[in-house]
C-alpha cells in the first residue's frame, strides 16, 4: 500500500510506493527534488523528516552521518517510506515544467581535444529541439538496455548540437566504443534532460564554480548561459586536473576571463612534472578555494566532477567556511562500474 507524502514548505503531496525511493516517487509525480548521484554519495537530496518513518537503503556514511539520522535527516535517493510522511526539502522550481523526452540523434562530429577526452556533437531531427537548463545531463540509451549519463556542455541558446564531453575509461563499454569504433553520422538514442544541477538565476549571490576533469562540461554550459544572459554576478571558476594537458579547453576558459570582468579563471594542477613548466596553482582544487576564501557564507557553489572532489568540497566548505548547505549544488561523476544495477 502506498504512503502519502507531503513536502514543506511547498505543500506539494504525492503517493510513494514502499518499493520505490522517495526521490523516485517524487519524480514520478512531476516534482523536482534536488539530486545528483542518485546513489547515496553526494548529499544533494538530503532532506528532513518532520513526521513519519523511512527505511534507509545503502548510502555513504560520510554523506549521511548517524547524528544527522538521529536529527531526522535522510537522503531521498535511498530512503523508502514506511508510513505517511511530512518532509522538509527545498524544491527546485526552475526545471519542473521541462518535459523529459526519449529522442534519436545523429553523431555530427567527434573531436578529441585531449588524448583521453572526446567531444561529441549530436544533431537532433529537424523537427526536434531539446529544452533544458544549463548544467543538466542526458542518458545515452545503449543497445544492451544500459544507460550512460553525460552532462550537456552547451548552453540552451546554443542548441544546434548537443555537446557531450566523454573521458576515456579503459574497459568502459561506451567510452571504449567512442574512442575506437564510433563513426560520424551514426544514430544514438537518449533520454533527457535530467538532473537538478543548473544555475539558480533567482539569486544575486557571487558564485564559486569547481570542476575536476570533464566536470568542466556542465560548468561550461552554466557559464556560457550566464554570460549570454548578461549575468553580472561574480564568478570564480576553479578547474582542477592532474596535468596541464588535462585542461582540455584551457583557452576557452581564459577567453571568458579576458572578455568578462566579473569572471575569474583559476586552473589548479595536482601532478605537474618538470617538463610541464607549470607556473600556475598546484594541489587539490577544493583546497585552492579554501586558501582563497575565509568565509563562503554569502556565496553559491557549483561543483562537478569526481565524487572525491565533490565530497571534499561539500564537507570542507560547509564545516569550515560557513557555506549554507542549501547553497551547494553538485553533480558527481560516478563510473558505471561504481553504480548499483
- With bands split at pLDDT 50, 70 and 90, how would you rate the model's confidence at 62? confident
Instruction: Determine how many CB atoms are found less than 10 A away from the CB of residue 337.
Output: 9
The gap from C-alpha 40 to its chain's centroid, in whole angstroms, comes to 14
Average pLDDT of the chain to the nearest whole number: 91
- With bands split at pLDDT 50, 70 and 90, how would you rate the model's confidence at 173? confident
User: What percent of the chain shows pLDDT beyond 70?
Assistant: 95
**Domain ranges (residues) in the chain:** 3-88, 101-194, 207-338
pLDDT of residue 61: 86
The gap from C-alpha 125 to its chain's centroid, in whole angstroms, comes to 26
Eight-state DSSP code of residue 92: -
H/E segment holding residue 239: strand 235-241
Dihedral over alpha carbons 13, 19, 23, 24 (to 10 degrees): -90
Burial class (CB in 10 A: 0-12, 13-18, 19+), 11: exposed
CATH number attached to the domain at 101-194: 2.40.30.10
Cα(54)–Cα(13) distance, rounded to whole angstroms?
A: 16
CATH class of 3-88: alpha beta
Q: Tens digits of per-residue pLDDT, 215-227?
A: 999 999 999 999 9
Eight-state DSSP code of residue 229: T
pLDDT for residue 43 is more than 90: no
Better-predicted residue by pLDDT, 239 or 100:
239
Q: Tens digits of per-residue pLDDT, 120-156?
A: 999 999 878 888 999 999 999 998 888 899 999 999 8
Three-state SS letters, 126-156 = CCCCCCCCCCCEEEEECCCCCEEEEEECCCC
pLDDT of residue 90: 82
Q: What is the DSSP string of 151-219?
A: EB-S-TT--SSEEEEEE--TT-HHHHHHHHT--TT-EEEEEEEE-S-S--TT----EEEEEEGGGHHHH
pLDDT of residue 206: 98
CATH architecture of 207-338: 3-Layer(aba) Sandwich (3.40)
Amino acid at each position: 500500500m502506498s504512503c502519502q507524502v507531503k513536502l514543506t514548505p511547498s505543500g506539494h503531496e504525492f503517493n510513494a510506493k514502499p518499493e520505490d525511493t522517495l526521490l523516485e516517487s517524487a519524480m514520478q509525480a512531476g516534482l523536482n527534488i534536488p539530486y545528483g548521484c542518485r546513489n547515496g554519495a553526494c548529499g544533494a537530496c538530503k532532506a528532513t523528516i518532520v513526521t513519519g518513518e523511512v527505511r534507509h537503503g545503502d548510502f555513504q556514511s560520510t554523506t549521511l552521518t548517524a547524528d544527522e539520522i538521529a536529527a531526522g535527516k535522510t537522503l531521498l535517493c535511498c530512503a523508502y517510506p514506511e508510513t505517511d510522511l511530512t518532509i522538509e526539502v527545498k524544491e527546485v522550481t526552475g526545471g519542473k515544467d521541462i518535459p523529459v523526452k526519449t529522442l534519436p540523434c545523429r553523431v555530427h562530429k567527434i573531436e578529441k581535444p585531449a588524448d583521453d577526452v572526446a567531444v561529441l556533437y549530436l544533431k537532433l531531427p529537424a523537427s526536434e529541439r531539446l529544452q533544458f537548463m544549463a548544467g543538466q545531463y542526458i542518458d545515452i540509451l545503449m543497445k544492451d538496455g544500459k544507460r550512460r549519463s553525460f552532462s550537456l556542455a552547451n548552453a540552451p541558446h546554443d542548441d544546434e548540437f548537443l555537446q557531450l564531453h566523454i573521458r576515456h575509461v579503459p574497459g568502459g563499454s561506451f567510452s571504449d566504443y567512442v574512442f575506437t569504433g564510433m563513426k560520424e553520422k551514426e544514430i544514438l538514442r537518449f533520454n533527457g534532460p535530467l538532473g537538478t544541477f543548473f544555475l539558480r538565476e533567482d539569486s544575486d549571490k557571487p558564485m564559486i564554480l569547481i570542476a575536476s576533469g570533464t566536470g568542466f562540461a556542465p560548468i561550461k554550459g552554466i557559464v556560457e548561459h550566464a554570460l549570454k544572459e548578461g549575468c553580472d554576478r561574480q564568478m570564480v571558476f576553479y578547474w582542477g586536473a592532474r596535468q596541464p594537458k588535462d585542461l582540455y579547453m584551457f583557452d576557452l576558459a581564459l577567453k571568458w576571463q579576458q572578455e568578462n570582468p566579473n569572471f575569474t579563471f583559476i586552473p589548479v594542477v595536482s601532478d605537474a612534472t618538470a617538463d610541464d613548466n607549470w607556473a600556475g596553482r598546484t594541489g587539490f582544487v577544493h583546497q585552492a578555494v579554501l586558501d582563497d576564501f575565509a568565509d563562503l557564507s554569502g556565496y553559491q557553489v557549483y561543483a562537478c566532477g569526481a565524487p572525491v572532489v565533490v565530497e571534499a568540497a561539500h564537507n570542507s566548505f560547509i564545516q569550515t567556511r560557513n557555506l549554507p548547505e542549501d547553497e551547494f549544488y553538485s553533480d558527481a561523476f560516478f563510473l558505471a562500474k561504481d553504480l548499483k544495477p
